[in-house]
Each structure stands twice: as structure tokens, then as C-alpha cells.
Amino acid sequence: MSRKSSDNEYTLRSLSNLMGEKRRNAKDDSGERSLIKAASSSSINSQGPAPPVASTCDLERAARKQFQEDVTPAFVFVLAGFSALGGFLFGYDTGVVSGAMLLLKKEMNLSALWQELLVSSTVGSAALSALAGGVLNGLFGRRPCILLASFLFSLGAIVLMAAPNKEVLLVGRIIVGLGIGIASMTVPVYIAESAPPQLRGRLVTVNTLFITGGQFFASVIDGAFSYLPKDGWRYMLGLSIAPGVIQFLGFLFLPESPRWLIQKGKTQKARRVLSQIRGNQNIDEEYESIKTSIEEEEKEVAGDGLVIWRMLTYPSTRRALIVGCGLQMFQQLAGINTVMYYSATILQMAGVKDDKMAIWLAALTAFTNFIFTLLGVWLVERVGRRKLTLGSIAGTMLSLLVLAVGFLLTTQHSPRVTLHPTDPSSPNSTCTEYGYCDGCMLDPDCGFCYQMNGSSVGESSCVSVNKESTSQASWGRCSNTSNTAQGIFWAYNYCPTAYSWTALFGLILYLVFFAPGMGPMPWTVNSEIYPLWARSTGNACSAGVNWIFNVLVSLTFLHVAEYLTYYGAFFLYSGLAALGFLFIYGCLPETKGRRLEEIESLFENQLYQLNKPNSDLKNAIRLQFSKGSRFPDGDYGVSYISL
């Protein structure tokens, strides 16, 4: 018998067992029951074509529902929820700092260098601890790492809340960063290793939903506490203690990953944990398959040396590592954090004049990012990782083009500077020399002060910005924000033109496309593509790459914008997203519905595997149920029954 037909037979047997199981469990008088019965009898009776009693989609839906009822005890959701608090803290602590900084720089009189230090120290230490997290995960397991991360989050929150000076603040931000790095690489792995295959993508993606949820919550807290006359930043930075402590307490009771336990030879404990997280399911088959694959892995990759070195030596893990790190790199190169950071300005450009609104507008952007990540949670098991990521990066690339064209149009229609007064406080200021708003707005020391004449820009000047608060000029008509009532406006970082709305349109389009795919998929895919022996190291490297490129992109954005102008910067990001598309198209296989132990094989002969998701199972079903009737194209998400 050929390999292919024996595979099909195996799949059919699994299908028929599953259906048989369902038949035994099915309740009287259920429509689904008759579907399942018909399916199972035709599976067992493979003599000739069965009558097309029901569409394959109905069958699949029925099977999916029944199967999920059978195998998904609530415990898995509790476990994923507590773990994803790590994602929430990642989002909260990276998001809250922008609002806190507005208050801190006034209260502590922070120089630009200190502001920069307080923001990037967290991302920098996250990069280091993500890399170190690989070793910790391998040695001590996932649970102690999550406990450590939540301890660091809570400790960091206390230090930040009580900080008497900027030096202590810096220590607090570094501690929090160490927590973020460890959580960012451990949580997806822990969820992926505990979830049943048909829910794995969805549950890991929930972690990114929590990241964007944390960012949204942070922006709301920033808005709310910005009204406090004093010490608002202490609440902003300290609030993360609550989820940190909840996660810590929860993880005192949650179990270690069963796969890590099996790898360490703690087989009894592993069986206990598997039974706990699989509820009434028989765990023997899953346990044996994990154990066998670990034993095979150990035989194949036996040897000393650093794991990273062994990963680079084996073609399949090398490819997986390239795919994982590449995805994370392109996620950041597509400019998500720049776009989010710059969103308030983009919205102001589009005509929102009230300065106090800026902080709430940033919340709106974070909310869009959050809501569309939810779409990703819904889509990931329906369309699969590959299609979702490809669609997302293609849309991201187009939206970046729209943003670039929007900025190009605003540059081309940049208003003239009509007045050139002398700055009384600093007569040598170069601001007043700019001829057009465009040059003025690219200079970080200057802003554009203008009067509206109906719908067009009237008298205008370029003057120096108030260093304390960029929402007003240091002198003249725009040094008093109440002048807006008389039609006098201050534009810092942007130029008012009739085309400004195009950038807003680009921003929304960007988030709609980025959030469901490029936001979560790099994390989700990385949690599943490495074999167990390489999983901690693989995730550590790819999370490290994510953080390193995060720092790089945010630190270089203003310089890039200065050299290439804003539209040039967005054209550049769009080009990078196009490269990302080619990379993903060429390298990312579909992992949906497969057991973690099967996924390594997808990287063995990449070209063959890329477009072959679940084809054996599809063929099997097609053979059994659809002779003579059309089997629609596409992936049905039936793969979870390929036991």
C-alpha cells in the first residue's frame, strides 16, 4: 500500500472513530446527530460512493461543535486568561509611559535625554530579558518564568509608584522591562503547549488581544489621570500592580506545561496535568504522541553544544528560526509603534483642533487596534495563519502607501509663511526664516502659527515652540491656547491643508489591516513552529528580534522623517512591508489545526508544504462524502480532526 493511501486510511479511521464517538454521545432527536450518523456510516462503509446526504460544510460544522464540546474544558480558558495577563501588562506598561511622561517631564524637570532613557530603557531591558528567557524557560519551565515575570511587574510598579527621583524611576522602568521581555516570550509558548490543537491559534492570539487591550486601557488611564494636578503619573505607572499580583496568585495554582514536564521526564506529573486540562478526554493518545516525538527528537538531535547552534545546524529548525525572526522583524518594520505614537498628530492634522483631545484621540487609535485584533482572534482558525498574515501585510503595505500619499499631498500643498517677525526672547532663532509650513514643522524647535480665513489659511508665522509644552508657542499669538477661540491655531508637527484627512484615512486603514494579522500572527506562529527542544530558544530569539527592531524603529523615526520627510518615511515603511509580503509568501507554511509535534515536518521540505494544508484529510473527506458533488475550494478548518 502506498504511503499516501495508508495516510488516508489512517485519517479515515480517525475520522470514523471520532464520528463513532460522537454517535455514542449524541443526544436523541438532534439534527446534528443524523448528520454525524450519516457521516460515520459512510466512513465505515467505504464500498463505493455514499449518497451526498449533507454538505461537507454542515458536516464540518456539526463535527466541530461536538468535538469542541468534548475536548475543551473551561480550565484551558482559565489558564489562557491568567497567562494573557502577561500580555495585558506588556501592553499596559509600554503604552502608559507616553501619558506619564507628559506629567513627569514637568514635575521632575526631565531633560530630553532622561525622557528618552525612561521610555527606551523598558524596551531595551525587555529585549535582553526576552533573550535570557530562553535559558530560564528551558531550565526551570514555563510556570516559574511567568511567576517571575508577574513578580517583576508588581515590584516594578511599586518602585515606580514610590519613586522619589528620576534615578529610581529608571530602575523601576528597567525592572518592568525585564518582566515584559520574559512574559512576551513565555506566555505564547505556555498557552500553545497547553491548548488543544483546534483552539491553539485562537488562544495564543488572545494574548495579543490582551496586549492591545493593555495599550488601550493605558491610554484611558493616561487620559483620566492627566487631570490630576499632582502625582498623576504615580497612579498611571503604579496601577499595573493589580494585574501583576492577580497573575502571580493565579499561577501559584496553575500547572506547568505538560510538554515541558514530559521533556524533563516528569511523566506522572505530566499525565496529571494533561488530564486536568483535557477534562473528560482520554489523554493516552496525546500523551504517547508527545512522548514519542520527544524521544525521536532526542535521538535525532542528540549531542552537546548550545541549542542555538544545533538549531542553526538542522535545516528544519534553521528555517523555522528564520521564519520566526523574520516575522517579528517585519512586524516592527511595518511601523506599528510609530503609527500608534504619531496617531494623535495625524488626527490633529485631519482637523481636530482641541489640544486636550490629543490624549483621548490616542485612546481611540489604541481602541481600533484592540477591536481589530479581536477580528484576528475570530479569523485565525477560520482562514489560517498564512492567509491571514499575507492579507494583513498586503493591506498594511497599501495603507502605508495611502499614508505616504496623504503626507505627500499635505507637503505639496503646504501653506506659505506670510509673517516673519523677530523672536524677542531669542533673536537668533531660525524658525522665523522658513518660507513654508513644511520646513517649519520638520524642525523640532519650531511650530506653525496661523489664522483661519473661512476654510483657508490666512496670516501665518513660524515661531519657536514652548519647550515645557509643545501645545503652544514660546511667544506671540500662539503662546496662549485660548486664542483658538479667535480662529488662531498652533500646529506643531503638522501642516494644515485640505488633504490632511487622507492621512487619517490611511491611519484607520492601517490599523484595520495590521491588527488582525501582522499584530498577533508573529507571536502565534512563533509559539508553534519549533520542536520542543528548540522552542524556548526559538521564541527567545524571535521575541528579542521583535524588541530590538521596536527600539530601532522608534529611535530612528524622527531622524528618518527629518531626512526623508514624513511621506518619504512612510514610503520607506511601505517598501519594507512589501519585502515582508514576499518573505511571508515564500516562507510561511500553514500550521493551523496541526499538533505541535507535527509542525516541524512543515519545514522539512518547505516548497512542497507551503500550499498543502491538510490536503490528506481533505482528500479523504472528498473521497468519502463528495463523489459527484462539488467540494468547494479553500481550507475548511476541518484539520483539527486529523488526529
Ligand X SMILES: O[C@H]1[C@H](O)[C@@H](O)[C@H](O)[C@@H](O)[C@H]1O
Nearer to ligand X (CB atom), residue 159 or residue 366: 366
The number of beta carbons lying within 10 Å of the beta carbon of residue 544 is 24
Tell me how far, at minimum, the Cβ of 528 lies from ligand X, in Å. 16
Q: How far apart are the C-alpha atoms of 61 and 59, rounded to whole Å?
A: 5
CA dist 460 → 351, 471, 495, 500, 581 (Å): 17, 17, 11, 18, 43
Mask: binding to ligand X, 284-323, rule CB under 6 A, as x and -? ----------------------------------------
Binding residue for ligand X (CB under 6 A) from 137, 215, 396, 536?
A: 215
Supply the minimum distance, in Å, between the C-beta of residue 233 and ligand X: 21
The DSSP line for 382-417 is: HH-HHHHHHHHHHHHHHHHHHHHHHHHHHHHTPPBP
Considering the complex, state which of residue 211 and residue 405 has its C-beta at the smaller distance from ligand X: 211
392 binds ligand X (CB under 6 A): no
Closer to ligand X by Cβ: residue 123 or 478:
123
Under DSSP, the state recorded for 465 is B
Residue 327: closest CA among 150, 522, 578: 522
Closest CA to 396 of 494, 512, 505, 295: 512
Instruction: Please state the closest distance from residue 497 (CB atom) to ligand X, in A.
Output: 29
Least distance to ligand X, CB of residue 369, Å: 5
Which residue from 293, 317, 337, 493 is in contact with ligand X, where contact means CB under 6 A?
Answer: 337
Give 150 or 208: the residue with its C-beta nearer to ligand X.
208
Q: Kindly write down the DSSP assignment for every residue of 70-119, as one continuous string.
A: HH--HHHHHHHHHHHHHHHHHHHHHHTHHHHHHHHHHHTT--HHHHHHHH
Q: Can you state the angle between helices 142-162 and 241-253, rounded to 10 degrees?
A: 160
**With CB under 6 A, what is the number of residues at the site for ligand X?**
12
- Nearer CB in complex with ligand X: 125/215: 215
CB atoms under 10 Å from CB of 140, counted, come to 14
The residue within the footprint of ligand X, chosen from 8, 43, 369, 626 (CB under 6 A), is: 369
Measure the CA–CA gap between 160 and 238, rounded to whole angstroms: 6
Contact partners, residue 232, CB within 8 Å, separation at least 6:
100, 103, 225, 226
Q: Which of 336, 349, 380, 507 binds ligand X (CB under 6 A)?
A: 336
Q: Where does this chain touch ligand X (CB under 6 A) — which range of 61-69, 191-199, 242-250, 330-338?
A: 330-338
* 212 is a contact residue toward ligand X (CB under 6 A): yes
Residue 148 belongs to what H/E stretch? Answer: helix 142-162
The CA-CA-CA angle for residues 578, 497, 577, to 5°, reads 5
Minimum gap (Å) between residue 210 Cβ and ligand X: 10
Q: Least distance in Å: CB of 300 to ligand X?
A: 32
Per-residue binding string, ligand X, 172-211, x by CB under 6 A, is: ------------------------------------x--x
Q: Specify the residue, 226 or 554, whose C-beta has the smaller distance to ligand X.
A: 554
Our CB check for ligand X shows the closer of 209 and 602 to be 209
Q: Which of 138, 255, 258, 519 binds ligand X (CB under 6 A)?
A: 519
Q: Is 538 exposed, middle or buried (0-12, 13-18, 19+ CB in 10 A)?
A: buried
Q: How far is the CB of 331 from ligand X (least distance, A)?
A: 6
CA distance linking residue 247 with residue 251, whole number of Å: 6
Residues 6 or more apart whose CB falls under 8 angstroms from that of 335 comprise: 400, 553, 557, 570, 573, 576
* Residue 399 CB, nearest approach to ligand X (Å): 14
Least distance (Å) from ligand X to the CB of residue 511?
9
- Residues 369 and 519 sit within 8 Å (Cβ to Cβ): yes
Q: Which one, 103 or 211, has the nearer CB to ligand X?
A: 211
Q: 284-300 vs 532-587: helix axis angle to the nearest 10?
A: 90
Candidate ranges 43-51, 187-195, 331-339, 533-541; the one touching ligand X (CB under 6 A) = 331-339
Closest of 385, 354, 15, 19 to residue 188, by C-alpha:
385
Instruction: Give 359 or 495: the residue with its C-beta nearer to ligand X.
Output: 359
Output the nine-digit C-alpha cell for 294: 520527544
Nearest distance, CB of residue 68 and ligand X, angstroms:
26
In 478-549, DSSP assigns E strands to: 488-491
Query: In this complex, which beta carbon is closest to ligand X, that of residue 200 or of residue 259?
Result: 200
Distance CA 638, CA 75 (A): 24
Nearer to ligand X (CB atom), residue 97 or residue 163: 97
Q: Which is nearer to ligand X, 87 or 415 (CB)?
A: 87
Residue 215 Cβ, how far from ligand X at the closest point, in Å?
A: 6
Residue 213 interacts with ligand X (CB under 6 A): yes or no: no
Nearer to ligand X, 125 or 316 (CB): 125
Which one of residues 392, 550, 574, 626 is an interface residue with ligand X (CB under 6 A)? 550
User: For the window 465-504, what string marks contact with ligand X as x by the rule CB under 6 A?
Assistant: ----------------------------------------
Query: In terms of C-beta density within 10 A (0-12 exposed, 13-18 middle, 19 or more buried), how is residue 406 classed?
Result: buried
Among 137, 546, 565, 626, which residue interacts with ligand X (rule: CB under 6 A)?
546
Whether residue 635 contacts residue 592, with contact meaning beta carbons closer than 8 Å, is answered with yes
Min separation Cβ 592 and ligand X, Å: 19
Nearest distance, CB of residue 122 and ligand X, angstroms: 12
- Least CB distance to ligand X at residue 514 (A): 7
Residue nearest to ligand X (CB): 519
> By CB under 6 A, what part of segment 229-268 binds ligand X?
none
Contact status, residue 504 vs residue 347, Cβ threshold 8 Å = yes
Joined grid coordinates for residue 72: 475543551
| CA angle (84 as vertex; 82, 85 as ends), nearest 5 | 70
Compute the distance between CA of residue 608 and CA of residue 330 in angstroms, rounded to an integer: 24
| Residues facing residue 451 across a β-bridge | 488
C-beta closer to ligand X: residue 196 or 214: 214
Which residue, 337 or 432, has its beta carbon nearer to ligand X? 337
Supply the DSSP string of 184-203, one letter for each residue: HHHHHHHHHHHS-HHHHHHH
CB of 546 to ligand X, least distance (A): 6
Structural Rg of the chain based on CA atoms? 28
Beta carbon of residue 501, minimum distance to ligand X (angstroms, whole number): 24
- Identify which of residues 54 and 541 has a Cβ nearer to ligand X in the complex: 541
Q: Which residues bind ligand X (CB under 6 A)?
A: 208, 211-212, 215, 331, 336-337, 369, 519-520, 546, 550
